[in-house]
A and B are shown apart, each in its own frame.
Chain A
Amino acid sequence: MKRVTTSRIAGAGILALILSSGLSACGSDDDDGAASSGLPARVTIKALSDLTGATAFLGKQAENGMRIALEEINGQKFLGDTRLEIETTDLGSNQQTSASEAAKAAADKSVPLVIANTVTPIAAAAAPIMQRQGVPFISSLSGVLGVNLGEYTYILPTPVQSMQKLAAGYLKSKGTTKLGILYDSSNATQQDIAEKIYPGLADEYGLTIVETIAVNNNTVDLSAPINKLLGAGADAIFLGVAGAQAATAVQQAGEHGFTGNFVATAGVAGGVLKPAGKYAIGVTWSNDFSAVSTAERSKSFTEVYKSKYNGEAPIQGAAYGYDAVWLAARAIKQANSVNRGDVLKGLQEVTSGTIDNSPRGGVTFKDRVSYSTGLLVQWDGTKEVAVPQP
């Protein structure tokens, strides 16, 4: 049922875990692990990840990122003699499974902390349970308001507001003034960017929003909306759609003779634009992390990831997964306990300063939400390239 992320767990290991957690709960000091440090020999945190289903791509990346962090933590004995372990349950991109697995994790008092590697509607089903039951909770892929419910929740993606400033700055540097917005109104994040964030940024970046068009995630043909944007005189388009719709929009705009700039969200990362071929050249988006980043820390993480996963390039999900586990480990070390209340205090303490080993560069927390500077990434027709900051 569960996939244990370290390879060495077998029946004996589980037995040891039960024994050790039982012993530490009794406060006995003949625990063979690190009794003096307050931590049992093994600490198991719980991960709820989308390993199958429509959003498995991100969930798997996060899972892989977690495994890299886990190896580092146990390899360098970050928690002393205590071994950190992660027990992953596949949510299958299903809301109800998310809620019920979250409840199971919450009921299991030996779980000090839960990480969710899943996107908005699915994470939003787990979040209220974590908050209500007082379980420290790290959301690695979703940061909307419905997930960020209170003191127990820590959010890893940098807020889209801050990310879109980069994109708007890019448009300004290109001298564009007339922005057309195409977005998927069934996606909360895209709706927020299209209806609130860009109207708010427009003045500061010298943009006029000439047209905003909503489509649904089941709209297959985007030529009429594209025509409307171009008819309104847009010289740049914000692409608030993901997946196939992003590729279709870019291609159809190209076929309509559009030569202006496209900005998008991280939803187009990871080869989404490949099917659009030459039309997608130059589409630019801001992201927390990219394998093509020139920053030293990003490069070293990318190398490790590629060598471990058959040359596959990491996307932002991998970086979030990595950060989630390190954050958990730091909090547990700080707390020197697996008690949830102590771990929460640990989280509060370790997030007061800058975290510097993240693949995303320096990460700071404000109101339990992490911020990194981010970078601009561009599609060159076959691969992603980094764009120098304007």
Chain B
Amino acid sequence: MHEIIYATTLASVYLMFALGLSITWGTIDVLNFAHGSIFMFSAFSVYLMLEHFDTGMGLLVMVLVGAGVGALLSGAVHLLAFEPLRRRANARDREMQMLIVGVGLSAVPVALANKITGGNPFGLRNDALKVETLHILGVPITSVQLIIMVVAFAMAVAVQQWLRSSRHGLALRAIGVDDETSSMMGVNRSRLALVTMAGAGVMAGLAGVLVSLSFGAMTPSTGDFLILKAFAVIIIGGVGSVTGVVVGAFVLAGAETLILTFTGGTWVDAMSFALIFLLLLVRPQGIFGRRAVVKT
């Protein structure tokens, strides 16, 4: 029983982190590996404010600042790197090039944060913030963990609804299916892409603040550690599918928690990667993917 709760809290962290990454990949075809360092740097900016003003900050203020920084960074990355890349690269090589661009860019915030902290962890908990511990089925859950669960699922539902029902969502899905035709039908691709990237940045920032509050601390490389997990979550679930991200997050978190519970922990990574490997063999497009991950 306990394991279900641990798996759920971990899954909501993965979900929160991976959702923005999956949406931009599935709709505007941007695979942003800098997502992890945007996540980290949003939380880091809040930390710098806490240090600089030497005052407490409530949850709402922190979340707003984090989301704002995330949106700005993500938008900037899009304008400076992914737009020019899209104009230049041919469709076949683009995904790999984007991967490298993202990896390269993510080194920049990490290096900045490393310079300021010397690689030491930083945390956001402060006096103005009350974190309480509740017990569900005997498992202690902090209020921050509860908030993460609620926000992660609310985010998933909202994004799903938005993609399904709003005009923007329709246009975005159209881009995902056929870029050129949709722009001929009057979809302003670049503006919509920017908005989507900024939205993914908001999610990254939100996740950065909440996750670092929940775990108490983060280092400049925490985002890099999570990006590989998020990549796995998306591949498992299927690119561009919101349900897929949710399921992928649960599969990975569930597998990790279970293996950890029943073994000494040294083989957790091997077994979760083996699971990913097997899943891919059975269903290369992911559980909820409609198309192959890459069109050959």
Q: Do chains A and B touch in the complex (CB under 8 A)?
A: yes
Known: A244-B219, A255-B142. 16 other contacts (CB 8 A): A52-B114, A60-B118, A218-B226, A218-B229, A220-B13, A220-B211, A224-B257, A224-B261, A225-B260, A243-B121, A243-B217, A247-B217, A255-B140, A270-B120, A271-B120, A275-B122
Distance from B119 Cβ to chain A, minimum over Cβ atoms (Å) = 4
Does the CB pair A257–B140 fall under 8 Å? yes
Given A244-B222, A248-B215, verify A224-B260 contact (CB < 8 Å). yes
A284 is an interface residue with CB less than 8 A from chain B: no
Instruction: Check if B169 is an interface residue, CB within 8 A of chain A.
Output: no
The reply to whether A224 and B6 form a contact with Cβ atoms under 8 Å apart is yes
Q: Which of B9, B220, B260, B265 has the most CB of A within 10 A?
A: B265
* In the bound complex, CA of A270 to CA of B119 (Å): 11
Tell me if A387 counts as interface (CB < 8 A to partner B).
no
Q: A212 to B261, alpha carbons, bound, how many Å?
A: 12
- A-B residue pairs in contact (CB < 8 Å), sample of 12: A52-B111, A52-B114, A54-B119, A215-B265, A219-B268, A228-B260, A247-B123, A247-B217, A248-B216, A255-B142, A274-B123, A275-B123
The digit string for A258-289, where 1 denotes a CB below 8 A from any CB of B, is 00000000000011101111010000000000
Complex-state Cα separation, A222 to B9, whole angstroms: 11
Whole-angstrom CA separation of A183 from B229 in the bound complex: 20
Instruction: Tell me which of B6, B121, B229, B269 contacts A227 (CB under 8 A).
Output: B6
A272 and B120 contact, Cβ closer than 8 Å, known pairs A54-B220, A218-B229, A224-B260:
yes
Interface pair B265/A56, CB less than 8 Å apart = no
Inter-chain contacts of B124 with A (CB < 8 A): 275
Instruction: List the A residue with the shortest CB-CB distance to B10.
Output: A221
Tell me the minimal C-beta distance from B125 to chain A in angstroms.
Answer: 6
A220 and B261 contacting across the interface, CB-CB below 8 Å: no
Contacts of B260 in A (CB 8 A): 213, 224-225, 228
Least CB distance, A280 to chain B, in whole angstroms: 9
Is the beta-carbon distance between B115 and A251 smaller than 8 angstroms?
no
Interface size on A, residues (CB 8 A): 43
Residues of chain A within 8 A (CB-CB) of B229 are: 218
Which B96-128 residues have a C-beta within 8 angstroms of A? 111, 114-115, 117-125
**Bound CA–CA A215/B3 (angstroms):** 17
User: Closest Cβ of chain B: how far from A116's Cβ, in Å?
Assistant: 18
Q: Of all chain B residues, which has the CB nearest A53?
A: B114
Interface presence of B292 (CB below 8 A): no
Cβ contact within 8 Å between A56 and B225:
no
Q: Is there a chain A Cβ closer than 8 Å to B130's Cβ?
A: no
Smallest beta-carbon distance A60→chain B, Å: 7
Contact with A along B197-239 (1 / 0, CB 8 A): 0000000000000010001111111100110110000000000
Question: Contacting A56 at CB < 8 Å: which of B114, B139, B215?
Answer: B114
Identify which of residues 109-161 in chain B touch chain A, using a CB-to-CB cut-off of 8 Å: 111, 114-115, 117-125, 133, 139-140, 142
Note all chain B residues with C-beta closer than 8 A to A248: 215-217
A177 on interface, CB distance cutoff 8 Å? no
Contact: B217 with A244, CB < 8 Å?
yes
Q: Annotate A188-216 by CB proximity to B: 1 below 8 A, 0 otherwise.
A: 00000000000000000000000011111
Whether B291 is near chain A, meaning CB under 8 Å from some CB there, is no
Closest-CB distance, B271 to chain A (whole angstroms): 12
In this complex, the member of A218, A225, A244 whose beta carbon has the largest number of chain B beta carbons within 10 angstroms is A244
Taken together as a complex, chains A and B put the C-alpha atoms of A218 and B111 apart, in Å, by 18
Q: A214-B266, A216-B268, A275-B217 are in contact. Are A55 and B119 (CB under 8 A)?
A: yes
- Which residues of A have CB within 8 Å of B3? 224
B2 CB-CB contact with A under 8 Å:
yes
- Complex CA gap A250/B140 in Å reads 14
